[in-house]
């Protein structure tokens, strides 16, 4: 490369190093996103859901109350939007952002966490936008089309519109449940309805 010989190797290396120091923060700053501190209270019939963010403790949580009695506190999960089932028995929370990592959660009004899927494990729905930290676009946020389907055994399917224009059943994978002692267990829907 003739321009390196004429300009000098050490000056080129210095220039490249300076360029990396100056321009790298621009790319990182462009992808930063924040969840602002808040306590958000959402009421659906006799169910109240409280989203709590405490950035000083690096903590996000969701508390679920039924008839004003705390049923569960889910740590480290988050949603931007929530969709209740018609009778407010089940709730689907979804997010297209990468912080804190939740793609979607499904829980009952009694605090039973039926499904929690992080963006790193959402492999059955394609992403339309993805950045280093913030953007994890997988569902159509303008027209999510969430539909809860019930059969004689209870809740059997939950559909959502993907960002790619296709419709997805969020139960295309085996259902797992995190028990009170933290163990992961496989769960059938008929068991979930009884809890």
C-alpha to C-alpha distance for 65 and 52, rounded to whole angstroms: 14
Sign of the dihedral through C-alpha 68, 74, 79, 82: negative
Exposure of 135 by Cβ count < 10 A (0-12 exposed, 13-18 middle, 19+ buried)? middle
Sign of the dihedral through C-alpha 101, 106, 112, 113: negative
Instruction: Give the length of the chain.
Output: 195
Q: Give the C-alpha distances (Å, rounded to integers) separating 112 from 4, 152, 185.
A: 64, 20, 13
The whole model's pTM is what? 0.72
Q: What is the pLDDT of residue 129?
A: 82
Q: Residue-wise pLDDT tens for the chain (195 aa)? A: 444 444 454 544 444 443 333 333 323 334 455 555 578 899 999 999 999 887 666 688 899 999 999 999 998 888 989 999 999 999 999 998 877 788 999 999 999 998 888 888 877 788 888 776 678 899 999 999 999 999 888 898 999 999 999 999 997 665 554 555 555 554 444 444 444
Give the other-Cβ count within 10 Å of 175's Cβ. Answer: 16
Q: Which residues make beta-bridge pairs with 36?
A: none
């Amino acid at each position: 490369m003739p321009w390196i010989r004429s300009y000098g190797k050490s000056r080129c290396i210095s220039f490249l190093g300076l360029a990396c120091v100056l321009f790298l923060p621009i790319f990182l700053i462009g992808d930063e996103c924040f969840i602002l501190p808040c306590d958000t209270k959402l009421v659906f019939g006799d169910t109240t859901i409280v989203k709590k963010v405490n950035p000083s403790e690096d903590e996000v949580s969701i508390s679920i109350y039924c008839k004003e009695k705390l049923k569960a506190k889910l740590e480290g999960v988050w949603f931007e939007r929530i969709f209740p089932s018609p009778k407010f028995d089940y709730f689907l929370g979804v997010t297209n952002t990468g912080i804190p990592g939740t793609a979607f959660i499904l829980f009952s009004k009694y605090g039973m966490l039926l499904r929690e899927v992080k963006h790193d494990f959402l492999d059955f729905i394609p992403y339309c936008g993805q950045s280093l930290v913030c953007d994890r676009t997988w569902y159509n946020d303008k027209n999510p089309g969430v539909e809860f389907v019930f059969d004689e055994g209870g809740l059997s399917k939950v559909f959502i519109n993907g960002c790619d224009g296709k419709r997805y059943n969020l139960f295309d994978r085996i259902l797992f449940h995190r028990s009170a002692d933290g163990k992961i267990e496989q769960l059938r829907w008929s068991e979930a309805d009884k809890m």
